[in-house]
Amino acid sequence: MYLPEYFEERREEELHRVIREYPLGVLVLNGPNGLNANHLPFELSQDDGKRGRLLAHVARNNPLWQETKDGDEVLVIFRAANAYISPNWYPSKHQFHRQVPTWNYQAVHAHGKIKIRDDERFVRGVVARLTRVNEARTGSDKPWKMTDSSKEYIDQMLTSIVGIEIEIAKMIGKWKLSQNREERDRINAAEELRKRGEQITSAAMLAALDNGS
């Protein structure tokens, strides 16, 4: 990933935060048939290992778990909110007319080694935790839980998936939030995004400004 210094995010707690808040990652591996990418929801086991572990599952019919082996290097990409930035939102544009459009975003690349966990107990735990966390986000007064279905049905469904565990060896964060622009341009662009309902990217731009990045 191209990473100018002013866009680099090194704070591990911020990288972990994006993974937790945007858990649908893209798992990329180089298998026998070339590059393969799968979109999977991940659970971050933050205190497990030096930088944490990523836990997920795939359908047993997905060839991914048979095309890789324990210890293979993989990449998981997580992306937070993102938004188009118009040059018209830069006050300096109207003065100098030397600006172009861009796109702002936050992304985390997690590198690590994969381990296949064809283990019912492991898979059950991953599914239970993913369900609990994501059902809580729905705001439902009665979130769905695994015991809402019959034991026989859940047991059957669990046999149709295979677990994945990735020990994170390295994380690279890119917070592209107009840090290379003048302060007035950054503030006004963030305000234009806010008015258009892009609250998350707007807030991230202002937070980066407050952090001095």
Element (H, E) at 194: helix 183-195
| pLDDT value of position 46 | 82
Asked whether 14 and 80 are in contact (CB, 8 A), the reply is no
| pLDDT value of position 211 | 79
- Report d(CA 193, CA 159) in Å as an integer: 46
Asked whether 56 and 110 are in contact (CB, 8 A), the reply is no
Q: What is the pTM of this model?
A: 0.93
- Report d(CA 111, CA 98) in Å as an integer: 38
| pLDDT value of position 25 | 98
Asked whether 42 and 49 are in contact (CB, 8 A), the reply is no
CB-hemisphere CA count at 13 Å for 176? 17
Angle between helices 120-137 and 151-158 in degrees, nearest 10: 110
| pLDDT value of position 27 | 98
Each residue's pLDDT expressed in tens, for the chain with a length of 213 residues: 999 999 999 999 999 999 999 999 999 999 888 999 999 999 999 888 789 999 999 999 999 999 999 999 999 999 999 999 999 999 987 777 778 999 999 999 999 999 999 999 999 999 999 999 999 999 999 999 999 999 999 999 999 999 999 999 999 999 999 999 999 999 999 999 999 999 999 999 999 988 777
76: Cα separation from own chain's centroid? 8
| pLDDT value of position 50 | 85
- Can you give the three-state secondary structure of 82-122, one letter per residue? EEEECHHHCCCHHHHCCCCCEEEEEEEEEEEEEEEECCHHH
62: which 2 tokens?
């997905």
The dotted CATH code for 5-80+105-177 is 2.30.110.10
